[in-house]
Amino acid sequence: MTVRLVEAGEVTLWSEATGDPAAPPLLLISGGNLTAKAWPQEFVDRLAAGGHRVIRYDHRDTGRSTRRDFFQHPYGFDELVADALAILDGWQVPAAHVVGMSLGHTIGQLLALDAPERLLSLTVMLGGALDVDFDADIERAVKGEPPTGALPLPTARFLEMLELMREPAEGAEALLERRVAKWRLLNGEGVPFDADEFRRRELLAVAHAGTFEEPVVHHLIPQPPVARAAALGRVRTPVLAIQAMCDPAAPPPHARHLAGLIPGARVAEIPGMGHALPLAVHEPLAAAICAHARAAGT
């Protein structure tokens, strides 16, 4: 593994590459308020063994990247997209296979619209199309109102997770156990949850970031205008939309809805998977990503 600090405008982004430097590059974009370590090392190693040089990075305001007061230095998705491009530039990568989850799901779509020449392929998971207003959907779910369209709202487990994260926790042990409890709720109902696995993973994330406190800054970022979804019909990047079948945030058929907006996009379903990356889903998930990248070529 090789670590590199990348300048992105006024911030510095921490990044790391794993695998053969001569292999096709694959950029991982993590979820909101999460660091590069949200991609488990075991999963990164599978992708590298599948024939890729895997690059992951800490979003601004997370991990070892620059952290600043959001209200003094506000930003939105334009800056997050620029950060991803800065990482590619920092590693001298003209174009890469890009994989985004949750917040990275949205960043990936915007990259396909705004910088298609930098993408060899795109895989997205654990999120929704640009025409889905998740903030409004969460509000409707909290109020017990029905969805406004055909797509389901976030589930009760997701709302329980949001409530859990509002509860006070004092001290390292309490903060750690709250983080583990969060992943228990997000893990889904179809895959066994191993608390020790996530406890170990969270301790690695804490050691990386230097704190048990989890950032919340990305919740302050306004979503891209839903009108941008109309441009998805012009995307020519090979796209794979992965549907975690037990995702409490973006349940089925969110992936099929996105695929319906992008010409030629395909869907891969991962049974039992929730809004998390437990060891149990690594093999089928990595296989789907690597197969998509191979089909797209270099």
> Residue 81 and residue 115: Cα distance in Å, rounded?
9
Q: In Å, how far are 26, 30, 84, 280 from 20, measured between CA atoms?
A: 11, 22, 21, 26
Q: DSSP class of residue 152? A: P
pLDDT at residue 295, rounded to an integer:
96
Residue located via tokens 């990305």? 218
Say which of 247, 254, 257, 292 is annotated catalytic.
247
Active-site residue, 102 included: yes
Active-site residue, 247 included: yes
Residuewise pLDDT in 10s, the chain (298 residues)? 899 999 999 999 999 999 999 999 999 999 999 999 999 999 999 999 999 999 999 999 999 999 999 999 999 999 999 999 999 999 999 999 999 999 999 999 999 999 999 999 999 999 999 999 999 999 999 999 999 888 999 999 999 999 999 988 889 999 999 999 999 999 988 899 999 999 999 999 999 999 998 899 999 999 999 999 999 999 999 999 999 999 999 999 999 999 999 999 999 999 999 999 999 999 999 999 999 999 998 6
Give the pairing of strands 11-18 and 119-125.
Answer: unpaired
Residue 122: which of 240, 207, 9 has the closest Cα?
240
Residues pairing with 6 in the sheet? 13
pLDDT at residue 190, rounded to an integer:
80
Say which of 52, 257, 275, 292 is annotated catalytic.
275
Active-site residue, 218 included: no
CB atoms under 10 Å from CB of 238, counted, come to 21
pLDDT at residue 78, rounded to an integer:
97
pTM over 0.95: yes
pLDDT at residue 189, rounded to an integer:
83
Where are the domains positioned within the chain?
2-296
> Residue 94 and residue 115: Cα distance in Å, rounded?
11
Question: Is 176 in a helix, a strand, or coil?
Answer: helix
Annotation: CATH topology of 2-296: Rossmann fold (3.40.50)
> Residue 239 and residue 229: Cα distance in Å, rounded?
15
> Residue 278 and residue 42: Cα distance in Å, rounded?
10
Q: DSSP class of residue 50? A: T
Residue 206 near residue 233 (C-beta atoms within 8 A): no
Say which of 15, 30, 65, 102 is annotated catalytic.
102
